[in-house]
């Protein structure tokens, strides 16, 4: 008997967050979802993985390698309807909507995405420091 197939997560199947809280001192955003998934995401991680076209690029691939954001913070969190938040960073970056699906993916794949980011930095001879 074949194992039941599970449907891939889509924008509409992501459980909404039950909590989004920014910790200014550690510069980390805690996101808790209704299904128990919890992410503790640094502002730097969120900034370098921004869903904006400026960072993602307009074509397939890994997008723009954002560097020098080790000390970035989040200045404001603005709700967008019932599906996203807009993060305004203290370096002036304020484009890109962090939908529940984006936050869920960034939370669930944090270790892999962060390791890949550090690998790309090393390959490019770039630094996290400004």
One-letter-per-residue 3-state SS of 88-102: EECCCCCCCEEEHHH
Q: Answer yes or no: is 8 within a domain.
A: no
pLDDT (0 to 100) of residue 58: 65
Q: What residue numbers bound the domain in which 36 lies?
A: 17-124
Q: Answer yes or no: is 7 within a domain.
A: no
Q: Answer yes or no: is 1 within a domain.
A: no
Taking only Cα atoms into account, the Rg of the chain, rounded to an integer number of angstroms, comes to: 15
* Overall number of domains in the chain: 1
CATH number at residue 96: 3.30.2020.30
Q: 85-122 pLDDT, tens per residue? A: 999 999 999 998 999 999 999 999 999 999 999 999 99
* Comparison of pLDDT for 93 and 62, the residue scoring more: 93
| Residues 101, 11 contacting (CB under 8 angstroms) | yes
| Residues 48, 69 contacting (CB under 8 angstroms) | yes
77 pairs with which residues across the strands? 87
pTM: 0.87
């Amino acid at each position: 008997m074949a194992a039941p197939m599970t449907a891939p997560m889509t924008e509409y199947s992501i459980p909404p967050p039950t909590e989004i809280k920014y910790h200014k001192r550690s510069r980390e955003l805690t996101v808790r979802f209704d299904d128990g998934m919890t992410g503790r995401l640094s502002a730097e991680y969120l900034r370098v993985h921004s869903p904006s076209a400026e960072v993602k690029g307009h074509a397939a691939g890994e997008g723009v390698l954002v560097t020098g954001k080790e000390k970035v913070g989040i200045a404001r969190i603005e709700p967008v309807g019932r599906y996203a938040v807009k993060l305004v960073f203290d370096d002036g970056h304020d484009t890109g909507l962090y939908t529940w699906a984006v936050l869920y993916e960034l939370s669930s794949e944090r270790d892999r995405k962060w390791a890949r980011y550090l690998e790309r930095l090393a390959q490019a001879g770039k630094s996290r420091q400004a």
